[in-house]
Amino acid sequence: MHLARLRKSSGGDPLAIAVLEKSRESGGHMLSGAILDPSALRDLLPDFESRGAPLGPVVQDERVLFLTERRTFRFPITPPPLKNHGCHVISLSRFARWLAEQAEAEGVDVFTGFAATEVLYEGERIVGVRTGDRGVDRQGGRKPTFEQGVDIRATVTVLADGVRGNLTKTVLGRLRLAAASQPQSYALGIKELWEVPADRLAAGTVVHTLGYPLRAEEFGGGFIYALAPDRLSVGFVTGLDYRDPLFDPHAAFQRFKRHPAIAALLADGQMVRYGAKALPEGGWHALPRAYADGALVIGDAAGFLNSLRLKGIHLAMRTGMYAAEVALDALQAGDASADRLEAFRDKVDDGPVRRELYPVRNVHQAFGHGLLAGLAYAGLSLLNRGWWLRDPMPSHPGHERMQTVRAYHGSDPPGPAQAAVPIDRTLTFDRLTNVHFSGARHEEDQPTHLLVRDLDICRTRCREEFANPCLRFCPAQVYEMVESDDGVRLQINASNCVHCKTCDILDPYQIVDWVPPEGGGGPHYDGM
Ligand code: SF4
């Protein structure tokens, strides 16, 4: 939209601008807490209010709570990074759908239901993307409905395929764009939307929690955002760098809801939607080189997210605007080389993105040393603007931190019964019930979109060493170990997948590749 408007105001002929969206409808796969910092929106569309932007209430009341198993302690003040003055509680999926409508009104072609599956190159120059074939059966054969994917060639390709994007992952690898960066770290956010009696929280109330059910060694916390007096967004974020292979993020979320302070808010309510999504938390030091010959990488795909503020939507919008400005300049100059597109980095360096991310560049890494160290350093970074003796503070890929069952638990690990959370389907839910509320829908007869490169590892080494952590870290029960004639084997229930990307990120052997299923498949996050 920004590119179309810039082109119009420069007096040039309209450009052909296409947006590919793998969801059935714009915003259908978008999931976040979400609190919107409106700074980028104000710059993009100053008249957003008169255009009917679907923003929820302005944040009115903020609380930060520390939870023990039974008790609640309120922080006497809200730490500055968690202050949300002037921000809005929103549904990201609805906001994204509205933005797509604004873009279409400016002449942008938004193609929903089309997944980009491959990056097109000429030499090392990116020249576009290929969309996935449709109508392919489980064995790879063509069904009567077969439609070949199409090549969409572009002078500038902007990769905005989200956290651990399938296209960005291959581009970073092939062009070594992250070679000089710290490894990206991730967290998993699991969220439910609840309808509750209207006497619980005023609209615009924002609650963040630390502590229970996480141990001090684990990073994360809970959130409750009041979209309306009778509608709460309830979620839990867990760092995907935990050591205990038996840790279960979905179970942690259920435990969180059973805490007396949270259960009281949800009593007599009803869960109406469910979803999960990973988020990039590595910050400034984990940003890759976000430009290449013919291409730019923006938003979560590149890792533009402030994990201390728990916000990335405004940074995704801001970097999208920069991409538009740099792309227009490249088009007008007839030069989309990396040298020309490097202007994107200058914009990031000279503007609000660096001002926001650089001072907190080591905070997530500090949480790798435990909750207390992380909190202490987060406070310190407000004074020293992120300085530390070793800058960047060392960081490791999350999957490398996971220990084997024996290393973590010794010879007597807890059994499944000890780890189980009571499921009552009123306050707590099993994964399959949750998946039903995600609206996930995929064509059943298609090749699996979860490519496990060595299934033998799953039934041998991974089973013995890590007790198959995918059974626990996948929030949608996609992975199951089942008995078969040849012994136990991994079964992949791909149609449950909610596209969170956790398996691609956290598998200890790094043998899982998430690739897009047939366009249109996936969750339906309306209202999330
Ligand atoms: Fe997430 Fe992977 Fe499970 Fe899909 S299969 S829901 S991407 S962990």
Per-residue pLDDT for the chain (528 aa), expressed as one digit of tens each?
999 999 999 998 999 999 999 999 999 999 999 999 999 999 999 999 999 999 999 999 999 999 999 999 999 988 888 899 899 999 999 999 999 999 999 999 999 999 999 999 999 999 999 999 999 999 999 999 999 999 999 999 999 999 999 999 999 999 999 999 999 999 999 999 999 999 999 999 999 999 999 999 999 999 999 999 999 999 999 999 999 999 999 999 999 999 999 999 999 999 999 999 999 999 999 999 999 999 999 999 999 999 989 999 999 999 999 999 999 999 999 999 999 999 999 999 999 999 999 988 887 777 777 777 777 777 777 777 777 777 887 788 999 999 999 999 998 888 877 778 999 999 999 999 999 999 999 999 999 999 999 999 999 999 999 999 999 999 999 999 999 888 899 999 999 999 999 999 999 999 999 999 999 999 999 999
The angle formed by the CA atoms of residues 244, 245 and 249, to the nearest 5 degrees, is: 85
Q: At what angle do helices 343-350 and 313-333 cross, to 10 degrees?
A: 140
Cβ contact 521:442 at 8 Å = yes
Q: Where are the domains of the chain?
A: 2-54+93-182+285-360
Contact 502 CB / ligand 1 (< 6 Å): yes
Q: Tokens standing for 193?
A: 């939307």
Give yes or no for residue 497 CB within 6 A of ligand 1.
Answer: yes
Strands 35-36 and 18-21: unpaired
Pairing of strands 157-159, 295-297: parallel
> Helices 2-9 and 313-333: crossing angle, nearest 10°?
40
Distance CA 193, CA 272 (A): 6
Ligand 1 center–CA 505 separation, angstroms: 10
Task: Give the span between the Cα atoms of 39 and 53, in whole angstroms.
Answer: 14
Q: Whose CA is nearest to atom 1 of ligand 1?
A: 500
> What is the rounded distance in angstroms from the CA atom of residue 37 to the CA atom of residue 88?
7
- Could you tell me the CA-to-CA distances from 130 to 135, 151, 159, 211, 454 in Å, in that order? 16, 4, 13, 45, 27
> Is 478 close to ligand 1, i.e. is its CB under 6 Å away?
yes
User: Could you tell me the distance, in angstroms and rounded to a whole number, from the CA of residue 522 to the centre of ligand 1?
Assistant: 11
Amino acid letter for position 82: L
- CA-CA distances (angstroms) from residue 137 to 337, 451, 519? 40, 16, 14
18-21 vs 109-112, strand pairing mode: parallel
Contacts of 387 (CB under 8 A, 6+ apart): none
> Which atom of ligand 1 is nearest to 278's Cα?
1
How far apart, in whole angstroms, are the C-alpha atoms of residue 247 and residue 332? 53
Structure tokens of 77? 């003040």
Which CATH architecture is the domain 2-54+93-182+285-360 placed in?
A: 3-Layer(bba) Sandwich (3.50)
CA distance 79 to 352: 21
Q: Which atom of ligand 1 is nearest to the CA of 501?
A: 7
Encoded tokens for 376: 């202490």
Residue that has been written with the tokens 């979400």 in this structure: 34
Find how far residue 90's CA is from the centre of its chain.
Answer: 16
How far, in Å, CA of 459 to CA of 490, rounded?
A: 7
Other residues' Cβ atoms within 10 Å of the Cβ of residue 227: 22
